[in-house]
Amino acid sequence: MPARKDKILVIGASGQIGVELTLALRKQYGNNNVVASDLREENPLLKGTGPYVSMDVMNKEMLHVQVIRQNITQIYLLAAILSATGEKNPNLAWHLNMQGLLNVLDIAREEKLHKVYWPSSIAVFGPTSPKQLCPQQTVIEPTTVYGISKYAGEFWCNYYFNRYGVDVRSIRYPGLISYKSAPGGGTTDYAVEIYTEALEQKKYNCFLSEDTYLPMMYMPDAIRATLELMNAPADQISVRTSYNVSGMSFSPKEIGASIQAHIPDFTMTYKPDSRQQIADSWPQSIDDSVANKDWGWKPQYDLSLMTKDMLENLRK
Ligand code: NAD
Ligand code: AKB
């Protein structure tokens, strides 16, 4: 179990992962020991559950002041620009994704923070990486600015660990599917939209082609993976760039069929846009045997379990 005296700052807490991770951390560490922060206003699901500060991760001085003032010992950095939005403004994506991370790593070094969490993505992989069961270590030649920033970020994490002893840990998340907070501009967002459209409209026009397989994960698995990695003893962490983790792999046609099992008159059409090219550059499935060996990672949700749970919760 983690030391109770830890005090955590979550940056980007109002986003798709931030809301659920903040709530999970508050359960583990106590509400007042997890400070949520974001550029945006506090997400309604966080209101009343613990402290919130409005903060820009690019403002290093303000971030540093908050870390000292609040006696922060761990930072979870979730603020980033994702793949599809990143291609619309590559300079901004590079700037936020890199400088935000460097600000956090510098402060972690100076203030001797206990731990830092920073997520990478399957977007580090490119067209030359293996498509099936893409290994932990392989050819990595990303083609999106988001993927480039994640790959560079992984090596900054590794550098700060080796050079300064900062205990920074990372996971290459697959596309994440959830019902609590909306996704923020990724290529895998279709797999969230499809559920709300199925319930509201009984039809969905997908921006990827029907046979585009991608690595995906249900949010409860992603939150559990994050907590398991962060709670693992440091000597079990052999990867200081970022861990591959796997959940499931499916195509738009298959997720459509899993929804039709619950909503028989649900129909799908396909109109691939610029996000198709991004999806085609990524692997279809991920080999996570290193995460399994190091800290016991095992996913619990497959497509049909996830669909049942998503529809039940969205109906509520
Ligand atoms: P999101 O876009 O939903 O949330 C990001 C949050 O960061 C937003 O609430 C935004 O307001 C905030 N933010 C943006 N700029 C900021 C700034 N300058 N200062 C403070 N906050 C700022 O993203 P997410 O899906 O929750 O992703 C979180 C992390 O996980 C990112 O690093 C992302 O690359 C990574 N990731 C996400 C997925 C996924 O499918 N959601 C997959 C792989 C990796
Ligand atoms: C995106 O599609 O950009 C994200 C990711 C896989 O990193 N969901």
The domain of 302 spans 176-216+247-285+295-315
**Is position 303 within any domain?**
yes
290 in a domain, yes or no? no
Average pLDDT, the chain: 97
Q: What is the pLDDT of residues 188-204, one digit of tens each?
A: 999 999 999 999 999 99
Atom of ligand 2 at shortest range from CA of 282: 6
Return the closest-CA partner of residue 23 out of 53, 44, 2, 1.
Answer: 44
- Position 3 in a domain: no
Does any domain span residue 166? yes
Residue 38: CB atoms within 10 Å: 25
Strands (E), the chain: 8-11, 34-38, 52-54, 74-77, 115-117, 120-121, 168-169, 171-173, 175-177, 203-206, 214-218, 243-244, 248-250, 267-270
The verdict on 202 and 114 lying in the same domain is no
pLDDT in tens, 135-173: 999 999 999 999 999 999 999 999 999 999 999 999 999
Cβ of 215 less than 6 Å from ligand 1: no
pLDDT in the model for residue 220: 98
Closest atom of ligand 2 to CA, residue 150: 7
Residue 45 sits in a domain whose CATH number is 3.40.50.720
Residues 40 and 128 in one domain: yes
Q: 1 in a domain, yes or no?
A: no
pLDDT at 1: 52
Centroid of ligand 1 to alpha carbon of 31 (angstroms): 22
189 and 229 part of one domain: no
Q: What is the pLDDT of residue 222?
A: 98
Q: Is 191 found in the same domain as 143?
A: no
Distance CA 273, CA 135 (A): 28
152 and 130 in a common domain:
yes
CB 195 within 8 A of CB 143: no
Residues 266, 155, single domain; the answer is: no
Q: Does a structural domain hold residue 2? A: no
Catalytic residue from among 52, 146, 173, 243: 146
Check if 301 is active-site: no
Residue 188 and residue 83 in one domain: no
CA distance 220 to 38: 22
CA–centroid distance, residue 284 to ligand 2 (Å): 13
For β-strands 214-218 and 248-250, DSSP reports them as antiparallel
Q: Is 283 in the pocket of ligand 1 (CB under 6 A)?
A: no
In this structure, is residue 74 part of a structural domain?
yes
| Ligand 2 contact, 286 CB (< 6 A) | no
Whether residues 32 and 165 share a domain: the answer is yes
Q: What is the CATH number of the domain that holds 303?
A: 3.90.25.10
pTM score over 0.95: yes
Query: Over the stretch 268-302, which tens digit does the pLDDT of each residue have?
Result: 999 999 999 999 999 999 999 999 999 999 999 99
Question: Are both 153 and 205 inside the same structural domain?
Answer: no
Pair 128, 190 in one domain = no
Q: Examine the domain organization and report whether 191 and 47 are in the same domain.
A: no
Look at residue 252 and tell me if it is in a domain.
yes
The alpha carbon of 32 and the centre of ligand 2 are apart by a number of angstroms equal to: 31
Which of 16, 19, 122 maximizes ligand 1 atoms within 8 Å of its Cβ, making it the mutation to test the pocket?
Answer: 16
At 127, the pLDDT band (50, 70, 90 cuts) reads very high
- At residue 4, the pLDDT reads 47
Q: Are residues 169 and 310 in the same domain?
A: no
pLDDT of residue 250: 98
Total of domains in the chain? 2
* pLDDT confidence bin for 5, thresholds 50/70/90: confident
Nearest ligand, CA 86: 2
